[in-house]
Structure 1
Amino acid sequence: MTTDLFDEDVEIQTTSLNTALNKDEVEILIHPGLSRQKRHLGEVLKIIKRAKDSFVGILEKENDEFFLVPDDKKVYVDILIPKERAKGAQGGEKVLAKLIKWDDPKKSPEGEVVKILGNKGEHNVEMESIVLEKGFEIEFPYEVEKEAEATAKNEKDISEEIKKRRDFRDTLTFTIDPVDAKDFDDAISLKEIGGGKYEIGVHIADVSHYVREGTSMNTEARKRGFSVYLVDRTIPMLPEILSNDICSLNPMEEKLSFSSVFVMDKNGSILERWFGKTIIKSDKRFSYEEAQAVLDAKLGECYEPLNTLNVIAKKLRDDKFKKGAIDFEQDEVKFELDKDGKPLRIYIKKRLDTHKLVEEFMLLANKEVAEFIFKASKSRQEKHNPFIYRIHDVPDKEKIAQLSVFLKALGYELELKEKGLTAKDLQMLFKMIDGKAEESMIKTAAIRSMAKAVYSTKNIGHFGLAFEYYTHFTSPIRRYADLLVHRLLEKHLQDKTIPKHEWNLYEKMAIETTEKEIAAAEAERNSKKYKQVEYMKEHIGEVFDGVISGVTEWGLYVEETNTKSDGMVSLRNLTDDYYIMDEKNYALIGEKTKKKYGLGDKVKVKLLGADLDRRTLDYIFV
């Protein structure tokens, strides 16, 4: 566990947990002496706050009682479910259960079934399980749906609202999104205004106009924090009548938006900027692939404006990297599923110029909004309001030292300076590994060694982007932080002051939203991992190319090349020698043969087994 009193973790053995579960907030007693791992030892005295009280798992029947075996293996006990609290669930079914009592570590925790999910292994059951396990609701409460429907009906006529807004309906505007997107929360407009200058608008769905503070919709959006993207579905932050209809910037529909508008030249220099409420009408809905095809063909609908935006986006991107931004982007694993959700194909989706085009203008809007608010707040002094920044701290020196050792084992040098790692050091490294087999593995290791980007009311800048000011303004349909940013920006533009006693609430919401972001990302990863294992399960016995991505005392992790499916070659299956861990060089070395398996080695593996419950793959070398 972690504590504010020590820089190091405190080790709590299972017998000293006193009913505490993973991530619970607890009061502890520190014992004298250190553990074998040279850590402080302690015991839990009191549970201050449970991290969660709902768990997904398999119901197992024992006599007239049931036990929930949680999917989350960090939950180290099964939960007793008395028959009368099983709600008709049968042994072997997956359920969502709530912990209702556990105050004696010598007894089993007691719970009750909240929802019967169905049989394990079924596509919908497994996807729902992943979402519920991470604390997200699938259905919206009745009152939220009703309020959303009433809002959509009452706000359908926007004729009066239009009079209060800057009008962009006659300016060429389009959206560029994934081909399967259902909600469009950002659009870009372009108008040539002479003298080699362009008016570029980044128009964002005006969710704050519809989802007001004090409504049940807002309460639910705050609770969810994020939309969750699984391999086959989206669990939205807002009811679909809002996210896919009234708020969405659908083509050929008049829509309310909150915009960042820039006068720029072709070199990407900002000559003027403006923020405010607008009305737009998108002329065209592009998928990334459609827009890229127009650019590649150099003709077709909107080629000239797309090309102009692309040229400016490339200038912005180049300038960003010159200032020290790090390109952490990796190719995305995608799935082709049949009608029952079974994976037919796993493929790698390459990033196109159109992805980068949209990204650069969204980054621009986010950066400029943050800078505008920060500097304006300084000038207002006592009248300034809190704000939600997106911050990314400099890397921890100890983690960078570990990364350096990791890289050395792969043949790369990361020179450690007194001032620590700079973004340009990482830039140089990423150029060296570009296109190589170990690129994905090294980028993943580098990301893990970085501080995590978080939301905060205190601005310290964004290390990874090399921005002094940054926020999230461009996705209020799917991120609650952006909705807060819209409200705070509007209050500033209207010269409204937030009382000091409310300021702490914004920092609390920033922390909550960061936690929800982590949970949503874990759910997305878990759904991909499940489908990778499900796909590979049909290929047991087949041989694949792979790269060694991890070395441990118990075996080697191998990433299959085509599907990025990570699996383990267990030490017990290396039968040709006795292998010893070389920690310094991240390798296993045969005692007699001196055969070496090291990080980044290209290997051939046969798939030995696939465990869907554990979401793991077992390989052997061939």
Structure 2
Amino acid sequence: MAAQGRGGLRSSTFNTAPEGGNDFQRRGPGHARTGSRNYEGNWRTQGQSQDQPTNVGQTQGFQPGHRSRGSVNQSMSAIGGFQYNPGQAPVLPLAGQMMMPQMYNQQLNPMQISQLQALQAAQMNSQQFQGLQGSQHAGQLGGPQQQQQRKTLFTPYLPQATLPALLGDGQLVSGILRVNKKNRSDAYVTTLDGLLDADIFICGSKDRNRALEGDLVAVELLDVDEVWGQKREKEEKKKRKDITDTRSGSINQGSQAAGQADENNPPEGAIRRRGSLRQRPTQKKNDDVEVEGQSLLLVEEEEINDEQKPLYAGHVVAVIERVAGQMFSGTLGLLRPSSQATKEKQEAERAAREGGNSRSNDSRQQDKPKIVWFKPTDKRVPLIAIPTEQAPRDFVEKHQDYADRIFVACIKRWPITSLHPFGTLVEQLGRMGDLKVETDALLRDNNFGSDEFSDAVLRSVGLQDWSLAQEDEAAIASRRDYRDEKVFTIDFNGSAELGNAVHVTSRPDGKIDIGIHVPDVTHFVKPNSLVDREAKKRGTAVHLINRFCPLLPPKLSGEVCSLVPGEERLTVSVVFTVNPVNGAVAEGDSWVGKSIIKSGGKVSLADIDKALTDASTYDNTTVPVNTIQILQAVAQKFREARLGAGSEPIAPLRLLQQLDDENQLVQHNIFDSTEALELVEELMHKANSYVAQRLAEGLPDKALLRRQAAPNPRRLQTFVERMTALGYDIDASGSGALQNSLFKVEDADLRKGMETVLLKSMQRAKYFIAGKTPKVVWPHYTLNLPLYTHFTNPTRRYADIIVHRQLEAVLSEGKIEFSDDMENLVKTVELCNTKKDSAQNAQEQSIHIESCRTMDKKRQEVNGDLIAEGIVLCVYESAFDVLIPEWGFEKRVHCDQLPLKKAEFRKEKRVLELYWEKGVPSSAYVPEDERPKAAASMRMSNALAAARQAEEAERVKKEREEAARKQTVTGTISTDDVDALFDDDEDDTSDVTEAMAGASLAERPTQSVPGSPARSTSNAGTLHRTRSDSKVPIAEAVETRLTNKEKYLKLFTLREEGGDYIQDVTEMTRVPIILKTDLTKSPPCLTIRSLNPYAL
């Protein structure tokens, strides 16, 4: 049993036993692979030959990307089912009294032996899962004998004890796994410290082998061509299946309701191509709505295709560590919304048609299920099986009442015989739509627990009546005293946590001293204290638009370590002596050390903006206006020197800046910035950069630094080519040159659009340890600095606390030792990276929720469509991406949601031609597969399936209620995918898609959309509902159309040819966009449609 990892969910804590060993004679674990070559080379030495025979006792590695798809998994299963007799090859005795043959005189390598041992151990312990897990699969296996031989769906993990040797000699590589949000069958592993020059592609859920987003995994490299061939085969099969499912028009393909389509016309929902316009399957639509609609910016993984295959491919053989404290918000459902639920519905329908009795349904109705199903909000996470006793007491009887409740769950184990993990229900947060509940949910999804500190932590702080007089006199005397300087505190957001102060002093030689002061947190937070451990666990404070989650208890962050005006405080200061003419700081003219300050006043960012834009409105009496103006002039010189800027004004590039640090002042629009914010951040960059230099010199091995990798070369090149084709001069020779190219774009909205496209090629900055990382990757790309760290915010970032401790050791010149060992330091850095990214994600999600609520209010005020101008960022065959500068959102317009005859994509000129239906407003258009007829067919099947589970009288009553309900709904009920694990795999237990799950929206509590018609029909902005024009009086509608025509017609590029009404959509042009919000989802959804210029 391995030790606890980051999240306490070590791979070896998962039970991975199949029910019976004989199953491996029939089918190997994981992929059904053919015979393995079992090459034993080393991936670090790609030139070695693989064809030489391997002698007994030799153990070599293998080469990256060249192991056959028939890898160790099939070899293991073949050996497990091998029938030994005296005429066969010799047998090797292994631990645990196992016997393993030497097949074909080939020596097994250590990894194969370890994997076989894990598999045999799993088999011997399989009986302990006969309870909870066995009950869930009994219905799929068909009998007691089959239940004992349950299929092994995943490969057992290699023992943790074997991993160091396998990683050390190159047989495995390790890295952090991430799952593609848009296509969760694809995943990628980024190797630690840039060991490989590209990510490892993981194809499918079986190769991902139960690993989750953010896990540190061990990966065996596979042959890229074979993996890619398998991916193409799966995608082709899925396309064929999507066509079959969609054309059925009904959940039951054999039902007569589905078979009544006119043979001369394509069935409703059939996938058709109209020019380049492709109709997405309903399932894909629903995925896109939630993935794209519930985030500020679109997330796109590296494009992979036949021309641009991944450089590496592999499969996960072990989870080394899981994300600490991993929790998921979501909804709770009674049935697994595929497989078993579908079978029950189909049995009920068949019984209804045949007029027979369904005893199996009756018995199932009486049996209380042993598990219920938790559907995470994050679509990258699979369904989680929860013991029924953990659900609310009345959940089984009244599960529909909980359809709009948000719960929190965590994963406890994931057997190799189960498609889904087993977990624990942690808490019930409350109803969807409640702002506090939604905020709690996003915090849990990003692995942040309660805002409150435990009583033990609060008591351990002490410092009830702290004052400077209580400190040791000798320690005070060793600090620089700035109490007589004109120090003032900067107030970012009006909170009690005041973490930065500045002073400006003119020198007789004409130079200026600029001091930057931050609280001396490490003086009060000692290593491994209770407060320190709590701060390390939190990693960072979280700034949300309506909430703040602190890093430190309020006694520290809001009092003792808050630079309150009029109070003496212990600080760490960086002081620069600056030439005001050119902003130069001569060597030797900088100082850093411990200090004491007494702030004489406080200035807000709004005050600074007044001083810089209109001094006559500046009314802060504690800080002279000329002091702020001096700081602005110096900061401008710092920025010009850092970016190599010329005479052009330096525009804020907030998206790029947020790749390093989230905003302390949270705005509704992520592009919003002020001169004050840019000024203060530039001063902090200067201090952080100087401290990084001191750490790199004084602690060359252990220095905690921060870097940002250069952009993805291919994506950056694509960006340059596209912008150049549009007439913009883009110099991508370096970070400064690239940013200066954007500064020259005068139109602020177009510049934001370019910044958004450029962001797709960039990565977030990361903390790293100097001695563990090659110097060539130390620079921070966006900031254009060779060395950088985080020093200036120890009250909100735990990494800054570590930096302060390291700086203290460096400044002591050997008197104080930085005692953290390298292994613990590396783990701390990885935790800080994870928490930093999580805080950024949480902040963006908070802005998204608040913006959707604001949009919905504004839509109600205008009593019609909410329309905004968008900048076209990228065009595709059947869609185009837009940025909405007014709101700071990036969304995708899907052409199959528009009233189009067809679309044509001219790739060479990057123009998307839209052939519009004249007179059909986009907001009122309902796609064919979402029209009432298809919905009626689905509801009829659902009603039949539910009716057979009750008495005849109840059945008739339900049919009448269903018929009445149909008359009130004009659009189709959107389905949602729930088989969040094996959607792309061929396992027969997961072949049924969510579109065929056989449960209506009201019967499916695991849906993120509540099932009550009363709630759903009140939301006129939902993409999958028909908006009725009768809600607006005709006279008002005419006036609105005229107004829209006057406003927006000039934005279109239109033409008429042969009776067709055509709009040309090109990149970096403006188009009017209809915004639709759906607050019934959790989190809320924002979807968009392009305005039809021929319906204005």
- The answer to whether structure 1 residue 214 and structure 2 residue 538 are counterparts is no
State the partner residue of 1:490.
Answer: 808
Gaps of 5+ in 1: 333-344, 378-383
Higher RCO (CA 8 Å, separation ≥ 6 residues): 2
TM-aligned CA distance change 1:445 to 1:462, over 3 Å? same
Q: CA deviation at 1:157?
A: 5.0
Q: 2:1072 aligns with which of 593, 604, 607?
A: 604
State the partner residue of 1:21.
Answer: 212
State the partner residue of 1:613.
Answer: 1082
Between the aligned partners of 2:607 and 2:639, the Cα distance in structure 1 is 22
Between the aligned partners of 2:422 and 2:635, the Cα distance in structure 1 is 57
TM-aligned CA distance change 1:67 to 1:553, over 3 Å? farther
TM-aligned CA distance change 1:189 to 1:415, over 3 Å? closer
Within 5 Å, which residues of 2 pair with 1:274-423?
274-295=591-612, 296-297=614-615, 301=621, 302-322=624-644, 329-330=653-654, 350-376=672-698, 386-408=702-724, 410-414=726-730, 421-423=733-735
Between the aligned partners of 1:546 and 1:525, the Cα distance in structure 2 is 20
TM-aligned CA distance change 1:618 to 1:473, over 3 Å? same
- The 10-residue stretch of structure 1 (358-367 or 531-540) with the greater mean CA deviation from structure 2: 531-540
SS of residue paired to 1:577 = strand
CA contact (8 A) 2:655 2:759 kept: no
CA contact (8 A) 1:607 1:620 kept: no
- The answer to whether structure 1 residue 138 and structure 2 residue 427 are counterparts is no
Q: CA deviation at 1:559?
A: 2.9
State the partner residue of 2:895.
Answer: 571
Q: 1:61 aligns with which of 334, 345, 348?
A: 334
Between the aligned partners of 2:394 and 2:454, the Cα distance in structure 1 is 25
TM-aligned CA distance change 1:287 to 1:436, over 3 Å? closer
- The answer to whether structure 1 residue 462 and structure 2 residue 780 are counterparts is yes
Deviation per residue, 1:372-391 (Å, 9 max, x gap) = 333455xxxxxx66211222
* Amino acid of the structure 2 residue aligned with 1:78: L
Q: 1:562 aligns with which of 886, 892, 896?
A: 886
SS of residue paired to 2:749 = coil
* Amino acid of the structure 2 residue aligned with 1:131: L
TM-aligned CA distance change 1:202 to 1:74, over 3 Å? same
State the partner residue of 1:11.
Answer: 202
- The answer to whether structure 1 residue 79 and structure 2 residue 384 are counterparts is yes
Gaps of 5+ in 2: 1-187, 233-304, 336-367, 396-401, 657-666, 916-1059
CA contact (8 A) 1:94 1:120 kept: yes
Deviation per residue, 1:69-96 (Å, 9 max, x gap) = 1010111x32122222236695332121
Between the aligned partners of 1:318 and 1:558, the Cα distance in structure 2 is 31
TM-aligned CA distance change 1:259 to 1:60, over 3 Å? same
Within 5 Å, which residues of 2 pair with 1:169-318?
169-267=483-581, 268-271=583-586, 272-295=589-612, 296-297=614-615, 301=621, 302-318=624-640
TM-aligned CA distance change 1:583 to 1:29, over 3 Å? farther
State the partner residue of 2:476.
Answer: 162
TM-aligned CA distance change 1:454 to 1:128, over 3 Å? same
Deviation per residue, 1:89-121 (Å, 9 max, x gap) = 953321211212211353542222212211111
Q: CA deviation at 1:159?
A: 4.6
Aligned length: 600
CA contact (8 A) 2:701 2:769 kept: no
Q: CA deviation at 1:145?
A: 3.0
Between the aligned partners of 2:908 and 2:426, the Cα distance in structure 1 is 49
Within 5 Å, which residues of 2 pair with 1:28-67?
28=219, 32=223, 33=226, 34-35=228-229, 36=232, 37=305, 38-39=309-310, 42-51=314-323, 53-62=326-335, 64=369, 65-67=371-373
Q: CA deviation at 1:516?
A: 1.6
State the partner residue of 1:547.
Answer: 871
Q: 1:524 aligns with which of 833, 843, 865?
A: 843
Between the aligned partners of 1:408 and 1:577, the Cα distance in structure 2 is 32
State the partner residue of 2:746.
Answer: 434
- The 10-residue stretch of structure 1 (238-247 or 288-297) with the greater mean CA deviation from structure 2: 288-297
Q: CA deviation at 1:228?
A: 1.1
TM-aligned CA distance change 1:244 to 1:88, over 3 Å? farther
Deviation per residue, 1:146-176 (Å, 9 max, x gap) = 2454145567754535344221112111122
* Amino acid of the structure 2 residue aligned with 1:541: D
Between the aligned partners of 1:251 and 1:280, the Cα distance in structure 2 is 10
- The 10-residue stretch of structure 1 (605-614 or 397-406) with the greater mean CA deviation from structure 2: 605-614
CA contact (8 A) 1:148 1:242 kept: no
Between the aligned partners of 2:886 and 2:599, the Cα distance in structure 1 is 38
Between the aligned partners of 1:457 and 1:17, the Cα distance in structure 2 is 29
Percent same amino acid among aligned pairs?
Answer: 26
SS of residue paired to 2:831 = helix
SS of residue paired to 1:232 = coil
Deviation per residue, 1:268-298 (Å, 9 max, x gap) = 3335222111111111111111133244326
SS of residue paired to 1:127 = helix
* Amino acid of the structure 1 residue aligned with 2:214: K
TM-aligned CA distance change 1:143 to 1:88, over 3 Å? farther
Within 5 Å, which residues of 2 pair with 1:83-98?
83-86=388-391, 91-92=402-403, 93-98=405-410
* Amino acid of the structure 2 residue aligned with 1:440: K
Deviation per residue, 1:279-320 (Å, 9 max, x gap) = 111111111111332443267531232222222222222222
CA contact (8 A) 1:409 1:599 kept: no
CA contact (8 A) 2:731 2:741 kept: no
* Amino acid of the structure 1 residue aligned with 2:692: A
Higher helix share: 2
Deviation per residue, 1:426-463 (Å, 9 max, x gap) = 13421232334321121122233234322122252323
Between the aligned partners of 2:447 and 2:417, the Cα distance in structure 1 is 24
CA contact (8 A) 2:1075 2:1086 kept: no
Q: Which has the larger radius of gyration?
A: 2
State the partner residue of 2:921.
Answer: none
* Amino acid of the structure 2 residue aligned with 1:254: E
- The 10-residue stretch of structure 1 (491-500 or 465-474) with the greater mean CA deviation from structure 2: 491-500
Give TM-score, length-normalised by structure 2: 0.51
CA contact (8 A) 2:651 2:743 kept: no
State the partner residue of 1:2.
Answer: 189
* Amino acid of the structure 2 residue aligned with 1:613: S
State the partner residue of 1:336.
Answer: none
Between the aligned partners of 1:74 and 1:574, the Cα distance in structure 2 is 28
Between the aligned partners of 1:582 and 1:15, the Cα distance in structure 2 is 38
SS of residue paired to 1:59 = strand
Deviation per residue, 1:590-609 (Å, 9 max, x gap) = 47766422222211122345
TM-aligned CA distance change 1:499 to 1:225, over 3 Å? closer
Q: CA deviation at 1:3?
A: 6.0
Between the aligned partners of 1:449 and 1:207, the Cα distance in structure 2 is 37
CA contact (8 A) 1:409 1:584 kept: no
Give TM-score, length-normalised by structure 1: 0.87
SS of residue paired to 2:821 = helix
Deviation per residue, 1:566-611 (Å, 9 max, x gap) = 4432211333332244555554234776642222221112234536
